[in-house]
A and B are shown apart, each in its own frame.
Chain A
Amino acid sequence: MVNKPLYFDEMFGHGTDARLPYEAYCKWFNGEDNARLLEKSEEAEALFRLIGVTFNVYGDPDATERLIPFDLVPRIIAAREWAKVAKGIEQRVRALNAFLHDIYHRQEIVRAGRLPAEMLARNEAFLPQMIGVTPPGDIYTHIVGTDLVRTGDDAFFVLEDNARTPSGVSYMLENRETMLHMFPELFSKIKVQSVSQYPNSLRKSLSACAPPACDGKPTLAVLTPGIHNSAYYEHAFLADQMGAELVEGHDLRVVDGRVAMRTTRGYKPIDVLYRRVDDDYLDPLTFNPDSMLGVPGIMDVYRAGGITIANAPGTGIADDKAIYSYMPDIVEFYTGEKAILQNVPTHRCSEPDALKYVLDNLAELVVKEVHGSGGYGMLVGPAASKKEIAAFRAKLEANPGNYIAQPTLALSTVPILTDAGLAPRHVDLRPFVLVSPDKIDITPGGLTRVALTAGSLVVNSSQGGGTKDTWVLEE
């Protein structure tokens, strides 16, 4: 079944026997009929269409709404494996928050010579307006998605940090919901840690970051750019699940020193705004004056302590892939410990020696834009044609500082269900992390993204990736 022993398969390792976490599942699977499972698979798709879990693909005018393919073979992680990963994520997220506080205050890390000032000075995501601002509870990244990849039994790497506005949590929840609906018997055989508490945890976590102006029970709202946004479904879903209002910029005004939403009974102040609108569009009075998506004056109310904005403006700097390359130092600087989770070795093309190496080895490397996301604007050397590599070389030479490069990792595979049975496909993992002054709450598992094309390493949904349910087993 595993035709590429080159890669670590999470179900079979490098062999043919199921690894321990998959034993019970494989036993069940072997008793199932492939044709029945394929039918189930179609049933799952119909279910997703029914609930309306869709996303938009930028740059594809014909398909404004598309379903992310779901594969019904779960990805399974043992409790012991997860415990170590969770510990590493917690350490990293703590460091990220400390880093964000520091760069908007004394910048000790720059003074100590551990991070060049240019990393901040030349970074568009660094917001001067956040200098000296301490958000309620001193939390900058209320919601983080730490993208992980695995290359072996005990080898997890952080691929990138999403501290700005990580999306995808609705898929994690819907995937589990669907699996529970279709295979209830599996969940009675195998004890899987629950993920359904996420919306409740999100509500609690955000509420714990209420601003000084809040009196009583915090009022939450989710700010969406509107129905044309690729993640609109998720915005509506989370608002609904949390029992919060879903609002757009034009629903909100500054009233009596607070940001308030229009209701049938007048304006009601919002304490915590989970915003899914980018920094630049958040407030036309402070940022992009042409923005129609944001709330004029919200940054003023924020700086006066009248509202919590989650995530805080200016956190996007932590998503920068050049900053990423400093994460091992950042973790050590703020926690005094070595990073538990490893970084993928990263070449900063802004450095002449690194650039030379990258240009000499383009066919073996993955090259990414430092501010890019969603799999756009990247080169996967081993999968690219000579022509594509030549075109990318020109872009890289024209603006080296805009790129970083990483070795092509031997990403782990997890089988998907095909007409011919199980077939290995590469995966990554986005665990979702909630940060409040009281605790760091990591939902067991997260969103597994899978490259559906055999051999492909690009798992992004915008690039044809699918998803799987992710199981973390009970102890």
Chain B
Amino acid sequence: MRLTVQHKTHYTYDAPVPYGLQQIRLRPKSRPGQQVEDWQIEVKGGQVEVSFEDEHANSVDLVSFHPGETRIEITCRGTVDVEDRAGVVGPQGGFVPLWLFERSTALTHPGPQIKAMVAAMSEGGAPVEQLHALSAHILQVVPYSTDQAASDLTAEDALSAGHAVCQDHAHVFITAARLMGYPARYVSGYLKMDDRVEQDASHAWAEAHVPDLGWVGFDVSNGYSPDARYVRVATGLDYRGAAPISGLRYGQAGEQMSVSLQVQQQ
């Protein structure tokens, strides 16, 4: 499937920002099953200082604000060909050892509720079946809602919140999968919802590493594994490691963010 993406993130500040940086992970890469035909990033109100590849092979750009700026806009436009591989991403490449994906992070630290949830899961079955069962179970316990309780919720807190956005679902899944002995990671990217062009926000899901298959994706919020409608952009141990934009600025200015995202089939 050939998908075109236009993703605009717009920040406005109620006072000039003397100095600020945004670290952006917004460049999808070509890989088996995903061919990036064209991808451009345009920054208004700032400039790209450096670009590099991080430990998860994400392409990262560091953007600085023009001094005294009150608005900054980051626009990504591109075309990506994606195949349906039933969520199978394949073996771990590069230097990162698999044990790194068993590490818990601040956002994916297992608390009593997640431990209890994992303990109650029935054992047996193939790894992929176990993980699908986990995914379905999480969606049942914390149904999807577009109403995000907080942007930086831990997996344990997300479970108590009663409902979750895709980011929370991914965190709960990652935390539980690690407890079950599977290396797991967070994926940020895009999803073309069938019923619309304008998407609410960029998407997030999880991947677990399964013997023989390698990395397999699980989109808890939608209850299936990623197919040809999903563009993988960045991966990390949790949201913070794969966040599309994470920034830091000097001064007291308040920030407002708006996102517009169109994903469509060409």
Contacts and interface: CB of A to CB of B under 8 A. Distances in A.
A129 B99 contact: no
Contacts of A255: 49, 64
A285 B21 contact: yes
B51 interface: yes
Nearest to B237: A128
A195 B99 CA distance: 45
B49 A254 contact: yes
A107 B62 contact: no
Nearest to B23: A285
A268 interface: no
A300 B50 contact: yes
Interface stretch (A157-165, A232-240, A301-309): A301-309
B97 A107 contact: yes
Interface residues of B, number: 24
Given A132-B95, A284-B248, A285-B246, A300 B62 contact: yes
A182 interface: no
Given A253-B19, A285-B246, A304 B50 contact: yes
Contacts of A132: 53, 55, 94-96
B248 A301 contact: no
Nearest to A129: B55
Most chain A C-beta atoms within 10 Å of own C-beta, residue among B60, B62, B99, B102: B62
A105 to B, nearest CB: 5
Contacts of B248: 284-285, 289, 296
A87 B248 CA distance: 47
Contact of B54 (A104, A117, A129, A254): A129
Interface in A133-170: none
For the side of the interface on A, what is the size category? Answer: 20 to 34
B29 interface: no
A105 B248 CA distance: 30
Interface in A249-285: 253-257, 284-285
Contacts of B246: 285
B95 A105 contact: yes
Contacts of A107: 95, 97
Contacts of B100: 121, 128
B47 to A, nearest CB: 9
Interface string A87-129: 0000000000000000011110010000001001100000011
Contacts of B23: 285-286, 297, 300
A120 B49 CA distance: 32
B2 interface: no
Nearest to A117: B99
A105 B64 CA distance: 30
A256 B51 CA distance: 12
B103 interface: yes
Given A128-B55, A254-B64, A297 B49 contact: yes
A413 B177 CA distance: 56
Contacts of B19: 253
Interface string B52-66: 111100001010100
A131 interface: yes
Interface of A: 104-107, 110, 117, 120-121, 128-132, 253-257, 284-286, 289, 296-297, 300-301, 303-304, 306
Given A132-B94, A300-B60, 4 more contacts: A128-B100, A132-B53, A132-B55, A300-B50
